[in-house]
Amino acid sequence: MSANPADPSLNWQRLAPLIPNPGRYPILPPLTPRQEVALLCRVLFQEGYNDHIAGHITYRMDDGTLLVNPWELAWDEVCASDILTLDANGQILDGQWNVTPAINLHRDMHALRHDARLVIHNHSEWGSVWAACKRVPPIYDQTSSLVDTDPVIYDEYQGTVNDSAAGRAAVEALGEHKWALLANHGVFLVARDIRQAHLRAITLEWRCRLAWRVEQLGGGSPLAPETATAMGRMTDGNGFPFLWEAMARRELRRDPRVLD
């Protein structure tokens, strides 16, 4: 395939003419938002978002309702039919399971950020290390630079974010930023669509893991800030076409029941 995923002018709707063998596409079957949320849970579990049953992904529908993964299920077992529908206040409208007590974090984030279709919180394996150290991981390689800003560090951990005031404080700390390390807790990020949510989540975890490894060897030379910013602006802007699709296909091969 000849399309350049780093081309900032790449518009997903205009991809077909750029692809030499369009008969092989679409590269994912049409998915409902419920299926997208379940797939994102599965894909991110494989990427380090795997603290047992911790973590939540919300998806704001056009009518203001929210989709969310259930409290009881680990991210690697969620299917589309498990996804709950909530009203804008976080009350369950439809679904068989319970909703996390920390839903206030997502409810308040969606209320504050209308540009955020998706909100993700988890205690990811490597993000939690840098969150515990209250440090922003340097960018040491290209894959760490796929998002153009640093995560903010929110350092007011006072237990879970179930409490409304604690959740609201975390939301206000994120403000207009894309992502945050919650000190002594985990990670928190927002995105405009499924592709960008996936890219931000995997970039944060990759960046945290790679920086830890580099520093274990005594440290390296971070990318020049202008180089990292230019790269990240392109890829975060277009969500890095084909990347989410490839990882979603990998998960569909592993367990196609995720769409059920």
Can you give the binding site for Zn ion, defined by CB under 5 A?
186
Closer residue to Zn ion (CB): 186 or 232: 186
Q: Select 45 or 244, whichever has its Cβ closest to Zn ion.
A: 45
CB of 18 or CB of 183, closer to Zn ion:
183
Kindly tell me which of 44 and 146 has the beta carbon lying closer to Zn ion.
44
> Taking the complex as a whole, how short is the minimal distance between the CB of residue 78 and Zn ion, in angstroms?
17
- Measured from the CB atom, the residue of 131 and 210 that comes closer to Zn ion is 131
Q: Nearest 5 degrees, angle CA 92-CA 244-CA 95?
A: 15
Q: How far is CA 213 from CA 79, 152, 181, 210, in A?
A: 34, 21, 19, 5
Residue with the CB atom nearest Zn ion in the bound state: 186
Please, what is the minimum distance in Å from the beta carbon of residue 66 to Zn ion?
17
Quote the least distance from Cβ 60 to Zn ion, whole Å: 20
Closest approach of Zn ion to the CB of residue 164, in Å: 15
Task: Identify whether the C-beta of residue 67 lies closer than 8 Å to the C-beta of residue 33.
Answer: yes
CB of 183 to Zn ion, least distance (A): 12
Q: Which is nearer to Zn ion, 167 or 186 (CB)?
A: 186
Please report, as a single letter, which amino acid is at residue 155.
D
Q: What is the dihedral of CA 201, 182, 49, 165, to 10 degrees?
A: -100
Which CA distances in Å does 59 have to 22, 33, 125, 215? 30, 8, 23, 36
User: Which contiguous run of DSSP H or E holds residue 154?
Assistant: strand 152-154
Side chain identity, residue 16: A
Give the separation between CA 51 and CA 185, rounded to whole angstroms. 11
Q: CB 103 → Zn ion: shortest distance, Å?
A: 12
